[in-house]
């Protein structure tokens, strides 16, 4: 089950971050501001710079209280947490055909799902519904496995 309040907090927080222009590569994908790009560079890349490439993921960890200055930096964990939050939230849907992961500055594209469409997917309104809700839960074991996998690179 998803945390509706947590999802709303993520939505509001992420929109504020995109609008702030503080994070290189975190930009609106369209004029309607219904889709955005989020940088997705792998930590194993030769030109990876943690301060820049993990900055949005670190900001999410700070916002959620999972990281404070002085703690050991864990960019792979930060990235996993934000990815899981995005995938779990009914407010966001990855647009895989717009994402570019095999380029020098890779990014994913997410769509902000309108509330009316979310109600439709949750079965609140049935007329015109096309998809069922799919949620991806990321538990501790999945996070640990993803971190181990990231470290192999």
pLDDT digits (tens, 9 = 90+) for 39-75: 999 988 889 999 999 999 999 999 999 999 899 999 9
Residues 33 and 14: beta-carbon distance below 8 Å: no
Is residue 106 predicted with pLDDT exceeding 70?
Answer: yes
- The topology (CATH level 3) of 4-152 is Arc Repressor Mutant, subunit A (1.10.10)
What is the arithmetic mean of pLDDT over 19-34?
A: 97
The sign of the dihedral angle between the CA atoms of 93, 50, 103, 141 is: negative
Distance CA 103, CA 122 (A): 36
Report the predicted TM-score, pTM, of the whole model to 2 decimal places. 0.75
What's 100's DSSP letter? B
Q: How far is CA 91 from the centre of its chain?
A: 11
What's 113's DSSP letter? P
Locate tokens 């947590």: which residue?
6
Helices vs. strands in the chain: H and E counts, helices first: 6, 4
Is residue 135 predicted with pLDDT exceeding 50?
Answer: no
Task: Please enumerate in sequence order all residues whose Cβ is within 8 A of that of 111, keeping only pairs 6 or more positions apart, or say none.
Answer: 34, 35, 92, 93, 94, 95
Supply the mean pLDDT for the chain: 83
Strands, E assignment, 80-149? 92-94, 107-112
Confidence band for 117, pLDDT divided at 50, 70 and 90: confident
Residue 121 backbone dihedrals phi, psi, to 5 degrees = -65, -30
């Amino acid at each position: 089950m998803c945390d509706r309040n947590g999802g709303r907090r993520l939505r509001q927080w992420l929109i504020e971050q995109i609008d702030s222009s503080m994070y290189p590569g975190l930009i609106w994908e369209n004029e309607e501001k219904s889709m955005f790009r989020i940088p997705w560079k792998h930590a194993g890349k030769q030109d990876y710079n943690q301060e820049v490439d993990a900055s949005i993921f670190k900001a999410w960890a700070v916002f959620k209280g999972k990281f404070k200055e002085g703690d050991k930096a864990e960019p792979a964990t930060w990235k996993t947490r934000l990815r899981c939050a995005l995938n779990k939230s009914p407010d966001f849907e990855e647009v895989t055909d717009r994402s570019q992961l095999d380029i020098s500055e890779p990014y994913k594209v997410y769509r902000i799902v309108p509330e009316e469409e979310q109600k439709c997917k949750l079965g609140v309104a049935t007329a015109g519904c096309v998809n069922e809700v799919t949620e991806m839960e990321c538990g501790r074991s999945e996070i640990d496995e993803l971190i181990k996998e990231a470290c192999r690179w």
